[in-house]
Structure 1
Amino acid sequence: RGVIGAGAGRRLLGELKIKRLKSRGATFDMLLKSLDELSQVAENHGVNVGLENRYYLREYPDFEEMAIIFSRLSGSRIKYWHDTGHAQAQNNLGITPANVWLEEFGDLLIGVHLHDVDRYHDHLPPPSGGEGAVDFRSLKPYLKPDIIRILEMRDEISVERAKRGVEWLKEQGIA
């Protein structure tokens, strides 16, 4: 089961979050500046840009930073791209609950990477049956007809297994 739920695991996660927060400064400021410039280019070309929830704690933006970005660029063509495996892996690691991403940013959703996880191993075909697997049914309210859906798999997943995953997603009304 790992050490995430153990005292040492919680302490380590807390230390990593503090380190991440302390390093935010200039890097996040540069990200905001770049996204501001990108939003103007996207507007000029009539395209949306999807900002994806990340897998690793060290990557930008995290949940709080995503909220800042969308607040600052409200009304722009910078939108949300949801990665099911990243959200679930962060949930399983105790970083961010999986459901809050879509609850908070679902109205900005333009696309989704569909894949399952086994604890923190992502890019598995749904349903993986693994521990801490994605609750795909919870996505349904957010998946309007115009939302782009991409099945994102590891290279070693067979075509047959990927096809079974697509069929399962169709049966659930997700694909």
Structure 2
Amino acid sequence: RLHYHEFPLPQEALELCADYPVELVGYWHDVGHAEVQARLGYVDKRAWLDTNKERTLGCHLHDVDGLGDHRAPGNGDVEWDYIAEGLPAGALRVFEINQRQPDEDVAGAIAFLRERGVVD
């Protein structure tokens, strides 16, 4: 998402969930969208997980090259260390990769993320 009005800020996301029990309403992190928003200067990419960690249920994993997201992990320049550190152990991890990514890049994504501690 490239426009500021298309998403809440990290604190706003937390406020949207505040009236509901954690068991019913959670936060789903999107690595690529957080990265693009940071590159556009909207928000610090770490703020999403820092602010919403207690409600983080899972995340979409994809890499970013410039402002282009939905790349296979390893096919961009996301700093994966903060993802490995910030995601709760029980959070689901789901790929959200563009179908035009080369098969061999998609096939190598799990090993790439395992080496960085993002997946087991």
Alignment of 1:32-51 (within 5 A): none
Which of 80, 84, 93 lines up with 1:149 in the alignment?
93
Alignment of 1:6-155 (within 5 A): 56-75=3-22, 77-129=24-76, 133-155=77-99
Q: Percent identity?
A: 29
Say which SS state the counterpart of residue 78 (structure 2) adopts: coil
Q: Which has the higher contact order (CA 8 A, sep 6+)?
A: 2
How many aligned residue pairs are there? 119
In structure 1, what residue type is equivalent to 2:39? Answer: N
Query: Where is the helix percentage greater, Structure 1 or Structure 2?
Result: 1
Is contact 1:55-1:87 (8 Å) kept?
Answer: no
Is contact 1:84-1:115 (8 Å) kept?
Answer: yes
| Structure 2 gap segments, 5+ residues each | none
Distance 1:80 1:55 in 2: 20
Larger of the two Rg values belongs to structure:
1
Distance 2:59 2:29 in 1: 5
Q: 1:143 to 1:63 in 2, by over 3 A?
A: closer
> How big is each residue's C-alpha offset from its partner over 1:65-106, in whole Å with a ceiling of 9 and x where there is no partner?
213213333545110100000000000001111010001001
In structure 1, what residue type is equivalent to 2:27? Answer: Y
In structure 2, what residue type is equivalent to 1:139? Answer: I
In structure 2, what residue type is equivalent to 1:107? Answer: E
TM-score by length of 1: 0.61
Say which SS state the counterpart of residue 161 (structure 1) adopts: helix
Distance 2:65 2:24 in 1: 34
Matched, 1:159 2:103: yes
Distance 1:65 1:170 in 2: 32
In structure 2, what residue type is equivalent to 1:153? Answer: I
Q: CA RMSD in A?
A: 1.9
TM-score by length of 2: 0.85
Is contact 1:117-1:128 (8 Å) kept?
Answer: yes
Range moving further from structure 2, 93-102 or 163-172: 163-172
CA apart distance, 1:142: 3.2
> How big is each residue's C-alpha offset from its partner over 1:8-59, in whole Å with a ceiling of 9 and x where there is no partner?
xxxxxxxxxxxxxxxxxxxxxxxxxxxxxxxxxxxxxxxxxxxxxx664222
Q: 1:164 to 1:104 in 2, by over 3 A?
A: same
